[in-house]
Amino acid sequence: GDSVTQMEGPVTLSEEAFLTINCTYTATGYPSLFWYVQYPGEGLQLLLKATKADDKGSNKGFEATYRKETTSFHLEKGSVQVSDSAVYFCALLYNFNKFYFGSGTKLNVKP
């Protein structure tokens, strides 16, 4: 079945470090891929998305490329800030009805 696997956290980085959060997926068709961010006590906010292979989604310095050959959608940011501390969820949208979410990766950025 369809599923998303993302790296376990927490990930702890110093400010201005490079960030990678791995995400791989299993899907029987051609899903759209998303990254959502959840700040403490809040709901999910869309960070970026890609709707087809080789698309790159980007927002607020974050980016991810839809790699069909490796079924991956890794999240990267060149220089993290303390304000980026949150939980990041990778998700796929298939059949346009429901998301399949990964288990989330908590990011802690220290000053």
Partner 1 sequence: NAGVMQNPRHLVRRRGQEARLRCSPMKGHSHVYWYRQLPEEGLKFMVYLQKENIIDESGMPKERFSAEFPKEGPSILRIQQVVRGDSAAYFCASSPGENNEQFFGPGTRLTVL
Cβ atoms 34, 44 nearer than 8 A: no
Interface with partner 1 by CB under 8 A: which range of 11-19, 37-45, 54-62, 67-75?
37-45
- CA 58 centroid distance within chain: 11
Cβ atoms 56, 65 nearer than 8 A: yes
Give, as ranges, the residues between 89 and 108 that touch partner 1 (CB under 8 A).
Answer: 89, 91, 93, 96-104
Interface with partner 1 by CB under 8 A: which range of 13-21, 36-44, 67-75, 78-86?
36-44
Count other Cβ atoms within 10 Å, centred on residue 38: 16
Count other Cβ atoms within 10 Å, centred on residue 58: 14
Interface with partner 1 by CB under 8 A: which range of 12-20, 42-50, 56-64, 67-75?
42-50
Which residue in the set 42, 69, 70, 111 belongs to the binding site for partner 1 (CB under 8 A)? 42
By beta-carbon proximity to partner 1, the closer residue of 58 and 99 is 99
Q: Does 68 bind partner 1 (CB under 8 A)?
A: no
Phi-psi region of 41 (alpha: psi -120 to 50; beta: other; left: phi over 0): left
